[in-house]
Every structure is written in C-alpha cells, then in structure tokens.
Amino acid sequence: MTCPPQPDFDRIARLYRWAEYLTLGPLLVRTRNHFLSQLPPRHRALILGDGDGRFLVRLLTRQPHLHALAVDTSATMLQLLCQRCRPYADRLQTLQTSALAITPNGSPDLIITHFFLDCLTQPQLDTLSLNLATHTTPGTLWLLSDFGPPRPRALRLLAALYIRSLYLAFRILTGLRVTHLPNPQTSLQAAGFDRIARHDRLFGLIYTEIWQRR
C-alpha cells in the first residue's frame, strides 16, 4: 500500500495572504488574533501550520519571554515566516516536517493551530492530539481557529457548499486529499483538554477557541 503524497503548499505560499482577503476579507486575521491579548504569559510555544507568520510575529511581540517552534511542510511558508519574524530570530526555531511526525523538545505550554486542523482527517487529528498531549503538562493552552457548521440550520447547506469549494480549490492547487472537516472538539477532549473560551464569526462558520490541559 502506498501513502498519498503530501500536499504542496509551496505553490500557494506567496499568494495565500491575498487569497484570504479575496474570500473572507479581514475575518480570518481577526479570528486568529481575537484571543491574542488575553493569553497569559507563556514560555514555550509550538506553532503548527502558521503559514507566513502573520500571527506568530504578533505573538512574539506581545510575549517577550516566549520561545517558539514553528512547524510546516512548506519551505516557502517557513521562509516567509522567518522573514516576517526576523526581529525575534533568537526566540524562533523552525522545522520543515509534517506535524504528525514531530516530537516536541521539552514541554510546550502553548500550542497554536490556526486554520490548520482542517487539513487533517479525523484519525490524523486524533493521533496528533494524543501525541502532543503526552508532551504537555496541566495548564498547557491550545489555541485554535477553524471552520465549522454555522448555528442556524438554514445556513448549513450554503456553508457546506462553501467549505466543499475551498477543499476543491486546495486539492487542485496543493494536492490536499482531505474532503471533510474533522471535529477538533472530540479529539481535544479525548486527549485531556477542556475548552475554556470560544468566539464565533459568521454564525460559527469560522471560530476560535482556547483549550486547557486538565
């Protein structure tokens, strides 16, 4: 049996920022940053799939004692991230690999996955959550943002068509094989995390949450 090829996000790395604005304007950025000012001081962050680093540079600016490890499969994304975070290079490490293959050094007290978990299948997300949980201690925070079904049932068909079109576009542009949104909530609960905050936009089509390790 052969494994499916890894998606190639190098193809869209330099266009990703503008593609976001063409689809949902500033809403994805605002969703990522919603809880930024409310995060307590952290010391070791694990950032999975942050793209070009627009969130990470804000995080490093606000948290002067934070050291971060940014993981991505895309060399171009990591290059853009490093350029944007250059003032904080002494507090930043990068690793080009799959998030499913990492073993964090030490114990991160902050995990961040903004619009990344939707690139995983449910079994992959379950595995990732359990793996990372074994390298955390009680009180570790997990900040995530993602797409989800909107609360009004009348909007769910329209939202499903929109999300399906996004998956189709990513399949064409990057080779991503995932076709359905996973459920991060069940994975994180099973891994020993509890949700402590949530904020919705567009009736829940996009949302951000903070989870804390029990």
Cβ burial 139-177 (10 Å sphere, 16+ → b, else e)? ebbbbbbbbbebeeeebeeebeeebeeebeebeeebebe
Give mean pLDDT, residues 94-104: 93
* 152 residue type, one letter: P
**Averaged pLDDT of the chain:** 94
3 lies in some domain: no
Residues 153, 159, 162, CA angle at the centre, nearest 5°? 165
Q: What is the pLDDT of residues 100-124, one digit of tens each?
A: 999 887 899 999 999 999 999 999 9
2 lies in some domain: no
93 lies in some domain: yes
* 174 residue type, one letter: T
Q: What is the pLDDT of residue 5?
A: 63
Is 80 exceeded by the pLDDT of residue 187?
A: yes
- Residue, of 5 and 101, whose pLDDT is higher: 101
Give mean pLDDT, residues 56-84: 97
CA distances from 129 to 100, 121, 123, 204, 213 (A): 10, 12, 10, 22, 11
pLDDT level of residue 18 (50, 70, 90 thresholds): confident
* 210 residue type, one letter: I
Tally the residues of the chain.
214
- pTM (predicted TM-score): 0.95
19 lies in some domain: yes
Which structural domain, as residue segments, surrounds residue 141?
9-213
User: Tokens 């049932």 map to which residue?
Assistant: 153
Is 80 exceeded by the pLDDT of residue 54?
A: yes
pLDDT level of residue 138 (50, 70, 90 thresholds): very high
Q: Which of 56, 53, 36 has the alpha carbon at shortest distance from 45?
A: 56
Q: Give start and end residues of each alpha helix (H) in the chain.
A: 16-24, 27-33, 54-62, 75-84, 122-133, 156-174, 184-190
Q: DSSP letter at 73?
A: S
User: What's the first-to-final CA gap in the chain, in angstroms?
Assistant: 38
1 lies in some domain: no
Number of structural domains the chain divides into: 1
pLDDT level of residue 140 (50, 70, 90 thresholds): very high
140 lies in some domain: yes
22 lies in some domain: yes
CATH number at residue 25: 3.40.50.150
